[in-house]
């Protein structure tokens, strides 16, 4: 009888031991999704508008940093060559989604991976095959940036007395598409357009001197991360030369530009969070139309 009891206890013990791995697996913490974000600015303060809106969008969808989501932010400080290095770092960190704050950041991420989902928060129209069916691993939001040029010049002409010459302050590191659309619009509106390109903030003072020497009546500021970062300096230079300026978002006018016409940057970055949410829940970027 005693031997039978010991045998029963031994078998019961084996059953409990077999259950240990199941219990251990059940108690393992759930993996927190990692979101890598490529910012054009130099730090969180400089891009507070976009980063704050993105975080708000995530919070509205039930995500809290450190609890059920992790943000890995990388700041290029307007040195576009850094995007490639940072994009590779995010791929090596095995992030679940990459968010690009601009088209240049998106291009770098596109070169770094064809498998990790990529959400372009501002300028997705430059990277996808078509808006309704993006294809590949890329989707996001469009700032309609090239299409703004014609309306911006038209507004400048309507609001500036005797406007005949406009200077386009152009980021020479960026796509030619906006410049091309601006040139087409100026020709159609019978306004001369003088393109003045810069590659860094160090060239801004020289650029505005050239604009003033060319007797421009107003300045059209191309949508650019560089110009957004330098918005206060650009406003000061324009005011010193008595030049009205047209920008592409409200933060530029807050900094001193005369007027702006364009999409709501805060809303774009807030909406980028909805793409991240859908992808984390299983949606494929190729099936998410660009907004």
Same domain, 39 and 90: yes
- The DSSP element (H or E) to which 220 belongs, if any, is strand 218-221
- The mean of the pLDDT values for the chain is 90
| Per-residue pLDDT band at 105 (split at 50, 70, 90) | very high
**Residue 10 has what pLDDT?**
46
Indicate which CATH number applies to the domain containing 118.
3.40.50.2300
Statement to judge: residues 90 and 177 lie in one domain: no
- 185-to-52, 54, 152, 157 alpha-carbon distances in Å: 35, 33, 9, 11
| Pairwise CA distance, residues 119 & 140, whole Å | 5
Confidence of residue 175 (pLDDT cuts 50, 70, 90): confident
pLDDT of residue 30: 77
Say if residue 48 is in the same domain as residue 68: yes
Q: How far apart are CA 238 and CA 157, in angstroms?
A: 18
Q: Give start and end residues of each alpha helix (H) in the chain.
A: 2-27, 48-60, 82-92, 103-112, 145-159, 177-188, 204-213, 225-229, 231-240, 250-254, 265-280
Domain-embedded: residue 247: yes
Q: Is residue 6 part of a domain?
A: no
pLDDT in tens, 248-266: 999 999 999 999 999 898 9
Q: Decide if 5 is inside a domain.
A: no
Identify whether residues 161 and 184 lie together within a single domain: yes
Domain range for residue 61? 34-143+265-287
Please count the residues of the chain. Answer: 291
Q: What is the pLDDT of residue 192?
A: 97
Q: 43 lies in a domain?
A: yes
> How many domains are there within the chain?
2
Q: Is residue 142 helix, strand or coil?
A: coil
15 in a structural domain: no
- Say if residue 97 is in the same domain as residue 152: no
**Do 62 and 202 fall within a single domain?**
no
Task: Please report which confidence band the pLDDT of residue 108 belongs to, taking 50, 70 and 90 as the band edges.
Answer: very high
pLDDT at 214: 95
Does residue 29 sit within a domain?
no
Residue-level pLDDT at 114: 96
Shared-domain flag, residues 94 and 138: yes
Q: Supply the pLDDT for residue 22.
A: 52
Mean local confidence (pLDDT), 53-61:
98
User: Is 273 inside any structural domain?
Assistant: yes
Residues 199 and 189 reside in one and the same domain: yes
44 & 179 share domain: no
| Residue 197 included in any domain | yes
Whether 90 and 154 map to the same domain: the answer is no
Determine the Cα–Cα distance for residues 141 and 155; give it in Å rounded to an integer. Answer: 25
Residue 49: C-alpha distances to residues 25, 53, 57, 225, 269 (Å)? 41, 6, 12, 13, 9
Q: Is the pLDDT of residue 27 over 80?
A: no
Do 218 and 283 share a structural domain?
Answer: no
Q: Taking 80 as the threshold, does the pLDDT of residue 157 lie above it?
A: yes
What's the pLDDT at 197? 96
pLDDT tops 60 at residue 11: no
d(CA 75, CA 199): 18
- pTM given for the model: 0.81
pLDDT in tens, 115-127: 999 999 998 988 9
Can you give the pLDDT at residue 146? 85
Q: What is the pLDDT of residue 178?
A: 92
Whether 139 and 69 share a structural domain: yes
279's tokens = 């992808």
Per-residue pLDDT tens over the stretch 179-210:
999 999 999 999 999 999 999 999 999 999 99
């Amino acid at each position: 009888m005693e031997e039978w009891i010991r045998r029963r206890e031994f078998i019961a013990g084996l059953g409990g031991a077999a259950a240990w791995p199941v219990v251990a697996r059940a108690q393992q913490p759930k993996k927190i999704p990692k979101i890598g974000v490529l910012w054009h600015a130099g730090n969180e303060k400089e891009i507070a508008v976009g980063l704050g809106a993105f975080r708000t969008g995530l919070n509205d969808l039930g995500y809290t940093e450190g609890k059920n989501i992790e943000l890995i932010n990388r700041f290029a400080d307007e040195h576009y060559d850094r995007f490639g290095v940072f994009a590779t770092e995010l791929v090596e960190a095995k992030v679940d989604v990459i968010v690009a704050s601009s088209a240049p950041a998106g291009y770098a991420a596109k070169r770094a991976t064809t498998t990790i989902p990529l959400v372009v928060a501002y300028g997705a129209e430059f990277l996808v095959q078509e808006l309704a069916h993006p294809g590949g691993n890329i989707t996001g939001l469009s700032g309609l940036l090239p299409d703004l040029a014609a309306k911006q010049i038209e507004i400048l002409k309507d609001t500036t007395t005797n406007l005949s010459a406009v200077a386009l302050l152009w980021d020479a590191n960026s796509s030619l598409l906006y410049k091309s659309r601006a040139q087409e619009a100026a020709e159609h509106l019978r306004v001369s357009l003088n393109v003045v390109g810069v590659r860094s903030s160090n060239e801004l003072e020289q650029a505005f001197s050239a604009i003033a020497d060319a007797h421009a009546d107003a300045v059209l500021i191309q949508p650019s991360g560089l110009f957004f970062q330098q918005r206060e300096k650009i406003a000061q230079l324009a005011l010193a030369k008595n030049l009205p300026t047209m920008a592409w978002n409200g933060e530029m006018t807050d900094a001193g530009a005369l007027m702006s016409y364009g999409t709501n940057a805060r809303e774009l970055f807030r909406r980028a969070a909805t793409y991240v949410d859908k992808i984390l829940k299983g949606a494929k970027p190729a099936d998410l139309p660009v907004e």
